[in-house]
Amino acid sequence: MLLPIAINFSDGLPYSVLFPSLPGCNSMGNSLEEAIVNAVEAATTHIEILLEDGESVFFDTPHIQDLMALNEYKDCVWALIDVPLHKL
């Protein structure tokens, strides 16, 4: 499953990763590459915990273009991460 992430560069290192489609999930990285790798791991673990706790997992995946228009993401770079749901 592809999820949009926003990598925030405004506060410097480490870069924080925001998950608009996955509230409560957090990650960071000391480079763009590390931020993306860590984001996949964080999203996968977050979803695993939700499922183990019997929570329903619903993904609202808005288009990146719509998210880019929001002021809270003005200093972010966008990426799509592939969360391997088939392995959960």
Tens digit of each residue's pLDDT (9 = 90 or more) over 29-72: 999 999 999 999 999 999 999 999 998 777 677 788 899 999 99
Q: What angle do CA 65, 67, 72 make, to 5 degrees?
A: 140
Question: Is residue 8 scored above 90 in pLDDT?
Answer: yes
* DSSP codes of every residue in 20-76: TTSTT--EEESSHHHHHHHHHHHHHHHHHHHHHTT---------HHHHHTSGGGTTE
Which contiguous run of DSSP H or E holds residue 81?
strand 76-82
Global pTM reads: 0.88
Q: What is the pLDDT of residue 88?
A: 66
Per CATH, the number for 16-87 is 3.30.160.250
- What's the CA gap between 30 and 34, in Å, rounded? 6
Beta strand 15-18 pairing with 27-29: antiparallel
Mean pLDDT score of the chain: 91
Q: What is the pLDDT of residue 29?
A: 98
Query: Could you tell me the residue ranges of all domains in the chain?
Result: 16-87
